[in-house]
Amino acid sequence: MWLQREIVLPAQRRGFHLITDIIECELPELQDINVGVMHLFITHTSASLTLNENADFTVRSDMEKHFNVLVPEDAPYYEHTYEGSDDMPAHIKSTIIGVNHTIPITNGRLNMGIWQGIYLCEHRDSGGQRTIVVTINGE
């Protein structure tokens, strides 16, 4: 079985947002798959996806703080500045973190570690809605 669907996420403030529940709710077909894979791809250049801690919200705020230090705004060497001071850093963060993940599906559930969750990493102050293309292959 193959399935592909676009999930449009509502606009979020800048930060790391746990979206596992949204993804699972939008894909009731998961429960019918015994063995498979789910591929997630975000169609934006200033947001990214990652898997990380799903229990303690301070991990998400610490990730945001760290990436803001690692990739600062208003660096004097940025040339791409006409979309705002958060734009070029957003592109860099998206490149570092990545725009896709593949997650195994086992017995109708995403086969992630007990403390793992899917994050939308919003790197713009006002990024708007974000679209994720989900492709599932399984039986």
Bridge partners for 44 per DSSP: none
Query: 102, 91, 99: which is closest to 67 by C-alpha?
Result: 91
Residue span of the structural domain in which 52 resides: 2-138
Task: For residue 93, give the CATH number of its domain.
Answer: 2.60.120.460
Distance CA 75, CA 13 (A): 22
What is the pTM assigned to this prediction?
A: 0.95
Question: In a structure prediction context, what are the per-residue pLDDT tens digits for the chain, which is 139 residues long?
Answer: 999 999 999 999 999 999 999 999 999 999 999 999 999 999 999 999 999 999 999 999 999 999 999 999 999 999 999 999 999 999 999 999 999 999 999 999 999 999 999 999 999 999 999 999 999 999 9
The domain tally of the chain equals: 1
